[in-house]
Amino acid sequence: MKRSEIREHIFKLVFCMEFHVQEELQGQLDAYYADMPEITEEERSYIAQKFFGVSEKLSDIDGRINAVAKGWKTERMGKAELAIIRLAVYEMLYDEDVPVKVAINEAVELAKKFGGDDSPAFVNGILAKLA
């Protein structure tokens, strides 16, 4: 599976994170995997590592987003855009294997696929301020 496809799976899980408490996240991950038997063990491990990484750093990630998002605090953002931005910020700050430009580009691509018409520009604008 390509890295962009794996990132899409991680995005979907980060999106679900908004609707569950911390104690439910492992169950959500297990349920997601149950519907995706084609995901290899290596891919599952990578997905889980990033998913729980975002969860663990969520307070810091949201603080950084709120610091640059003038008039658009995380509470006001669309849930899809917020999940995309959270994943990208995690990759930019905590994943040394993902170059910042790649994290931003992949986030914009996810915004094109899952967000509204203005989502790619919004996501790019927030992330550019953090780069």
Packed helices 79-94 and 119-130: angle between N→C axes, nearest 10 degrees:
30
**What's the length of the chain?**
131
Predicted pLDDT of residue 65: 97
Domains along the chain? 3-130 (1.10.940.10)
Predicted pLDDT of residue 20: 87
Residue with tokens 């931005």: 85
Predicted pLDDT of residue 113: 97
Decide if pLDDT at 104 tops 90: yes
Predicted pLDDT of residue 88: 98
- The Cα–Cα gap between 42 and 79 comes to 28
Predicted pLDDT of residue 29: 92
Q: What is the pLDDT of residues 6-45, one digit of tens each?
A: 999 999 999 999 898 888 999 999 999 998 888 899 999 9
pTM, rounded to two decimals = 0.93
Predicted pLDDT of residue 36: 86
Predicted pLDDT of residue 72: 84
Q: Report the share of the chain in percent with pLDDT over 90.
A: 81
Q: Which two tokens stand for residue 41?
A: 């063990």
Q: What is the pLDDT of residues 67-103, one digit of tens each?
A: 999 888 888 999 999 999 999 999 999 999 999 999 9
- The Cα–Cα gap between 10 and 15 comes to 9
